[in-house]
Amino acid sequence: MKKHALAKISSVYDFLFIGLGAANSLMILSLFKNGLLDGKTIAIIEPSGKLTDEKTFCFWSTKEELFTLNLEELVSYNWQQIEITGIIKQNINPFCYYHIKGTDLTNKTKEVLSLSEVTYFRSTLDDIPTVNSDYIEITTGESVLRCHKVFDSRPPTFSKPQKNQSRLYQSFYGWKIKTDKKVFDTSSIVLMDFKIPQNDYTQFIYVLPFESDTALVELTRFGEQKLAKEEANTILQNYVQQLGTSFEKLEDEVGVIPMFTSKIEVANFGENWVNMGARANLLKCSTGYAFHSMAKDAILQMEALKSNRKLLRKAKKNRFSFYDRLLLKILSNTPLQGKKVFETLFKKVPVFNVLRFLGEKTTISEEVLIFYKLPKRLFITAAFKDIYHQTNRLPIITLPFIFTAIAILLSFLKFEFIAWGILAIGFFTIGLAHGALDHLTSHEINSTKKLIYFMLSYLLKGALFGIVWWFSSDMALAVFLLYSAWHFGQADFKEWNLKQGWNSFIYGVILLTVILFFHVEELIDILKQIPNLAAVNLLHKIPKNGLLLIQVLTVSLGLTLARLKKSTNLLLTLIYLLMASQLSLLMAFGIYFVLQHSINGWKHLSVGLEKESSVMWKNAFPFTIGGGGIILNILLFEDENYIGLSFIILSCLSLPHVFSMNHFYQLTSSK
């Protein structure tokens, strides 16, 4: 921490509250009500110096819960009916919709604080705090504060959004008005009135009727752009004029709430530094409501402090975060659909059920029924895109792992052809294609002449290896397996950021041994189709006990390597390959080759060549068609030994590919 020459070191405070907004005010009231402020010293950092919150806080709750949250004396108004103008007006019993004035909350908080020893600071935090076993030390302005417990309610910082995440704002501008006529129904709030221009956003009017002639009329917008005062005033003026009465404007209310689905980034300063409010992810991003959650959290924090234990906040249920992302993505991409979504929701689902859903208190079956009544195409499209982006962020190893489990299930149900179809598509789009980019892996190819030379050299290497097959099938098979082990190990270790070399080669040997020696009978059937191969006879002679020993030793060696390398990816690969022993040899190898090796290789090429996938497919297309044509020709016109012939051709094409990728990995590693 940097030193301040004029810094004045304070005594040690029991509690430090950074910000005096709703979250920390509720925390202070909860501590006071339970006697936890008695005799305590308190410091409050409020840079603005403004200690009065003029916001309006609203939430829905049962009367019993309101009492439990110690909020009953703060409530100024409540309503038991909610209206969506032109759609419905319904009773929400046993819920009530409650209103609390920000001024009432802060006045009560200041009243409580006046009974304790409190020091106020108008500065901001200058440095990263120093945390030790006795206290937390913070530098603010010309003072150094030391405290035992910190409650931090500063606005949060959000990470950069992913493609399936949104950064919208709920911005609002409202008037508290008094009318000459009694035009407001005090039994019901207007939660949403969409009978205003949408102006390429999702926006509506919100009305809180305090008296028959007094109400808060507020314009709310969900959008990437915030409301401008002039635009809001024009819409509000037109809306109020439709009430058919003259009016007096008493107050303005302005606010902006982030509707961000990206991750909140906050530092961890230990259990005595407690993030509060939106900083603690207590704001529901799809609605902007947070007060109820903050009141509940304050009670839980108080109880933990009272019993001298650490409170571990429960993580939000993943499915509700998923629902929030869907809605906000729809509002972001197709803002004019927002009106349709909300009006359909309230038209087809009782308001009480909608409030339970928004409060994350519904069951999965109830949520299915709710989504069934919403515009299906909008949500299904958004769901598929979200799932795609979510899975795209997962480690590649999860794809073959999950697919293996699905393939086993499909095989059991006699629908194995589905798995074969998916693998075939993957093979022709990624498997062949990633090898068809070998001409791009050398930076020396910058002319047609050099491309022709590369192709001739590439084919010559394959042809020479074909001669090895003609000369000695056993030698060619051994070489093929060895360089395949090297290549597979090199690609996987590259993906996992592990050092390549003998360890990656050993891993490749383990990988191939697991695939082949857990399918020995099928392996023998394939090798029988390769002419003059003596290795088949050796496999026939392996006793069952010997085969079991090979399997056990291979798995043990794999587990040992995974532990030495501390690699979860290596362990998961070993597990799903063992699972794949329940499938055929070709499918087990196909799962690894297509869904792990080829996808890894494609990713490495995309990064190393700095090319988008669409450009890579275009570059690979002529060679992919050529390779695919050879394979299809063998499958369609070779009646006998087509697998053996395919095996030999595959090995001849693989050899120059291994050389090219080895050269590519060396080039990219040296950058």
Specify whether the CB–CB gap between 148 and 15 falls below 8 A.
yes
Specify whether the CB–CB gap between 423 and 587 falls below 8 A.
yes
Q: Taking 60 as the threshold, does the pLDDT of residue 261 lie above it?
A: yes
Highest-pLDDT range among 158-172, 439-453, 529-543: 158-172
φ and ψ at residue 116, rounded to 5 degrees? -120, 170
The pLDDT score that the predictor gives to residue 4 is 36
Looking up tokens 């795209």, which residue turns up?
A: 392
Tell me the C-alpha distance between 628 and 429, whole Å: 10
What is the DSSP code (8-state) at residue 243? Answer: T
Which range, of 31-35, 80-84, 535-539, averages the lowest pLDDT? 535-539
- pLDDT higher for 453 or 419? 419
The pLDDT score that the predictor gives to residue 257 is 92
The pLDDT score that the predictor gives to residue 370 is 94
Q: Give the pLDDT band of residue 592 (cuts 50, 70, 90).
A: very high
124, two tokens: 């901001």
Tell me the C-alpha distance between 354 and 348, whole Å: 10
The pLDDT score that the predictor gives to residue 65 is 93
What is the DSSP code (8-state) at residue 227? Answer: P
Domain boundaries, the chain: 8-74+93-156+264-306, 167-260, 318-393, 398-413+447-669
- Other C-beta atoms closer than 10 Å to the C-beta of 213 total 18
Q: What average pLDDT does the segment 62-78 reach?
A: 93
Quick: pLDDT tens for 319-359: 899 999 999 999 999 999 999 999 999 999 999 999 999 99
- If phi > 0 it is left, if psi is from -120 to 50 it is alpha, else beta; for residue 392 that is alpha
Task: Identify the H or E element spanning 60.
Answer: strand 56-62
Which range, of 33-42, 197-206, 311-320, 566-575, averages the lowest pLDDT? 311-320
- Work out the end-to-end distance of the chain between its first and last CA atoms, rounded to an integer number of angstroms: 36
φ and ψ at residue 179, rounded to 5 degrees? -100, 160
Name the CATH superfamily for 8-74+93-156+264-306. Answer: FAD/NAD(P)-binding domain (3.50.50.60)
Q: What average pLDDT does the segment 662-669 reach?
A: 80
User: pLDDT above 90 covers what percent of the chain?
Assistant: 53
Tell me the C-alpha distance between 14 and 22, whole Å: 20
Specify whether the CB–CB gap between 415 and 637 falls below 8 A.
no
The pLDDT score that the predictor gives to residue 635 is 56
Q: What is the DSSP string of 146-178?
A: EEEEEEE-PPPEEPPP-TT--EEEEEEEEEEEE
- In three-state form (DSSP H/G/I as H, E/B as E, the rest C), the secondary structure along 258-275 is EEECCCEECCCCCCCEEE
- Other C-beta atoms closer than 10 Å to the C-beta of 81 total 18
Q: Domain 167-260, what fold?
A: Alpha-Beta Plaits (3.30.70)
User: pLDDT averaged over the chain?
Assistant: 87
Tell me the C-alpha distance between 193 and 650, whole Å: 66
- In three-state form (DSSP H/G/I as H, E/B as E, the rest C), the secondary structure along 544-612 is HHHHHHHHHHHHHHHHHHHHHHCCHHHHHHHHHHHHHHHCCHHHHHHHHHHHHHHHHHHHHHHHHHCCC
Q: What average pLDDT does the segment 270-299 reach?
A: 92
Quick: pLDDT tens for 438-480: 777 766 666 677 778 777 887 888 888 889 888 898 898 999 8
What is the DSSP code (8-state) at residue 72? Answer: G
Tell me the C-alpha distance between 194 and 505, whole Å: 65
- Other C-beta atoms closer than 10 Å to the C-beta of 421 total 10
- pLDDT higher for 117 or 6? 117
Q: Give the pLDDT band of residue 6 (cuts 50, 70, 90).
A: very low
CA distances from 249 to 132, 244, 635 (A): 53, 15, 82
Which range, of 53-57, 100-104, 180-184, 399-403, averages the lowest pLDDT? 53-57
Domains 8-74+93-156+264-306 and 167-260 share a fold: no
Quick: pLDDT tens for 399-409: 899 999 999 99
Q: Taking 50 as the threshold, does the pLDDT of residue 122 lie above it?
A: yes
Q: What average pLDDT does the segment 596-619 reach?
A: 83
498, two tokens: 């592990």
Sorted by sequence, the CB contacts under 8 Å of residue 46 that are 6+ apart come out as: 19, 20, 120, 121, 122
Highest-pLDDT range among 223-232, 260-269, 384-393, 644-653: 223-232
The pLDDT score that the predictor gives to residue 8 is 57
216, two tokens: 């808060």
Specify whether the CB–CB gap between 375 and 344 falls below 8 A.
yes
Give start and end residues of each alpha helix (H) in 187-335.
229-241, 291-306, 318-333
User: pLDDT above 70 covers what percent of the chain?
Assistant: 92
The pLDDT score that the predictor gives to residue 630 is 61
Looking up tokens 């304070």, which residue turns up?
A: 10
88 forms bridges with which residues in the sheet?
84
The pLDDT score that the predictor gives to residue 2 is 36
Q: Are strands 202-211 and 214-223 parallel, antiparallel or unpaired?
A: antiparallel
The pLDDT score that the predictor gives to residue 17 is 93
113, two tokens: 């604080």
Tell me the C-alpha distance between 86 and 527, whole Å: 75
